[in-house]
Amino acid sequence: MCSALALKCVGGEVIEAIGFGIPQLIVAALCGFIWAADGAELLLLGSVTRSVTDEWALEAWQRGAIVSVVFIGILLGNTIGGPLGDSTGRKIPVLLSFLGIVLFSVLSASCTGFWSLAVVRTFVGASFGLGQPATMSLMKDITPSRWQLFIFALVIGVPFPCGEIYSASLIWYNDPSMKELDWRWLCIMGAVPSIFGFVLSYSFMKESPAYLLENGYVDEAKELLESYKRWNGAEHVCCDLVTTSAHGRTPRSARQNVEAIFSPALRWTALAMIYSCFMLNVSFYGSLYAFPQVFSDMSASTPYSPAMALVVGAIYEIPGPMAGPLVATVLEPKTLLRVCPLALALACVIFLIGASGQSMIYSVVLQTGYAGIKVIANGYFAVAYSAASGVFPAVVRTTGSAACVAGGRVGGILSPLIFEQLMIMFNGWGAFFVFMIVGNLLNCIILCALDLEDVDDIDSLEELKPMLGSGETAA
């Protein structure tokens, strides 16, 4: 049996039969450190900007740039991490990610001016961006289909606010008033979880069985699957997949991987998922940027202060990641993927209606829309990123996932600029929420027009075989 057929079995029959259990939870916990670093970084940077500005007398554009360069770094890391994960395996980008976070976070504390800090923080962003596509692909490779949405919520949605809580705890310990923060100490302490992440991942994280088989490491893949069987109590499952020896496939270049995901067989699916992730990030990070200004303008018509409104918004985010898996018990994942942008657009409509008046009824409608935006947008991440990793065959799964995550990061970078430009053009923040409504409705229409089926191997995509090989290995 050739390795491509074995890969198909691993992606389907064997992983499904072995089931979900402790091995997947261990890997999910290790991968979660990467996403926790993302949440911690966003909160930390926003909190120390004032201290850095006071120390170096930064101009307004420099204050904003310190935050923007991190998003640019994440984009670079996502772009590099995809081809790297398909070429070297899922584990190596994760380990490099942890090392980079620790190294460049410590270097941040030694910076003496804006330009040195901007460069170093770009590399901090690139570091945790490097490992994110690999975590998505790894969880997709080892998790049975009916558990995949849950595991993506567990890996992406839960660690992100945990990272925020960790940074908030450091800030509270350092200076509860946030007026005299020791930003250098905070940068160093912010890297501590990544130290644990590296040590634990190096010790306990295993390579993807799909990657091992695709590259001819048959014995290693079988040994790994046997360990999954023992942990999950699935001794009845047969993992004797390959009867012929294999010595590995001829290595593919990063260019081949990128060309494959934009080939005619995958092009429109890739573009649709990139746009979906782009619009999701515009909605999430754009509203995150907009709400402080929105509630400042509406302070007279809300029952609590603008700062408290943001705290309430963070609380609304908590149930978001698990909402997707619960709804998926009723709807198919691909149907849920199409429903999420429609629901997000509806939440924006409700929010705008609530913002148009000042009575108690309008206030209730406003809070309903606000809660809807927070819950749906945060839960949508697990849905979109799970789908993004599934529509590409395992041989280029990390590259495809990276392209989608990178598209999302572009949305994160541009969302504040879009908000500010619409504010200037239409003299009000309402235009941005109209933009979100239109963009998400278009997202829903595009996704409905495509057949978004999961792909485990290249056997069903004939056009990719000449480009990536049909599964035969090179001696």
Cβ neighbour number for residue 406 with a 10 Å cutoff: 24
pLDDT of residue 302: 57
Residue 43 has pLDDT above 80, yes or no: no
Q: pTM to 2 decimals?
A: 0.70
CA-CA-CA-CA dihedral for 448, 453, 458, 460, to nearest 10: -90
- What is the rounded CA–CA span in Å between residue 211 and residue 138? 9
Residue 318 has pLDDT above 80, yes or no: no
For residue 92, count CB atoms less than 10 angstroms from its CB and return exposed for 0-12, middle for 13-18, buried for 19 or more.
middle
pLDDT of residue 465: 54
- Note the pLDDT tens digit of each residue in 179-196: 778 889 988 998 888 999
Residue 5 has pLDDT above 80, yes or no: no
Domains 3-253 and 260-448 share a fold: yes
Reduced DSSP (H G I as helix, E B as strand, rest coil) percent helix, strand, coil of the chain, to 5: 80, 0, 20
Residue 246 has pLDDT above 80, yes or no: no
Residue 244 has pLDDT above 50, yes or no: no
Residue type, 192: V
How does residue 346 score in pLDDT terms, banded at 50, 70 and 90?
very high
Fold of 260-448: Growth Hormone; Chain: A; (1.20.1250)
How does residue 426 score in pLDDT terms, banded at 50, 70 and 90?
confident
pLDDT of residue 1: 35
Residue 66 has pLDDT above 80, yes or no: no
Helix H segments across 318-429? 320-327, 333-355, 360-390, 397-426
Six-digit token pair at 225?
Answer: 């699957």
Residue 212 has pLDDT above 60, yes or no: yes
Highest mean pLDDT among 203-207, 291-295, 362-366: 203-207
Least confident among 85-89, 228-232, 334-338, 358-362: 358-362
What percent of the chain shows pLDDT beyond 90?
A: 17
- Note the pLDDT tens digit of each residue in 20-40: 888 899 999 999 998 888 777
Residue 439 neighbours by CB under 8 Å, 6+ apart: 279, 282, 283
How does residue 103 score in pLDDT terms, banded at 50, 70 and 90?
very high
Residue scoring higher pLDDT (330 or 328): 330
Residue scoring higher pLDDT (54 or 293): 54
Contact 409, 41 (CB under 8 A): no
Residue 132 has pLDDT above 80, yes or no: yes
Mean pLDDT across the chain, nearest whole number?
Answer: 79
- What is the rounded CA–CA span in Å between residue 355 and residue 262? 42
Residue 301 has pLDDT above 70, yes or no: no
How does residue 438 score in pLDDT terms, banded at 50, 70 and 90?
very high
User: What's the Rg (C-alpha) of the chain?
Assistant: 23
Contact 89, 207 (CB under 8 A): yes
Kindly list the distances between the CA atom of residue 136 and the CA atoms of 13, 141, 208, 354, in Å, as whole numbers in the listed order.
20, 9, 11, 37
Residue range 389-415: average pLDDT?
80
Fold of 3-253: Growth Hormone; Chain: A; (1.20.1250)
- What is the rounded CA–CA span in Å between residue 260 and residue 464? 7
Residue range 378-385: average pLDDT?
82
- What is the rounded CA–CA span in Å between residue 93 and residue 115? 27
> What are the domain boundaries of the chain?
3-253, 260-448
Residue 2 has pLDDT above 90, yes or no: no
- What is the rounded CA–CA span in Å between residue 471 and residue 4? 4
Residue scoring higher pLDDT (42 or 125): 125
Residue range 408-432: average pLDDT?
83
Longest dimension (CA), the chain: 75
Residue range 457-468: average pLDDT?
53
Least confident among 235-239, 363-367, 403-407, 411-415: 235-239
- What is the rounded CA–CA span in Å between residue 466 and residue 41? 42
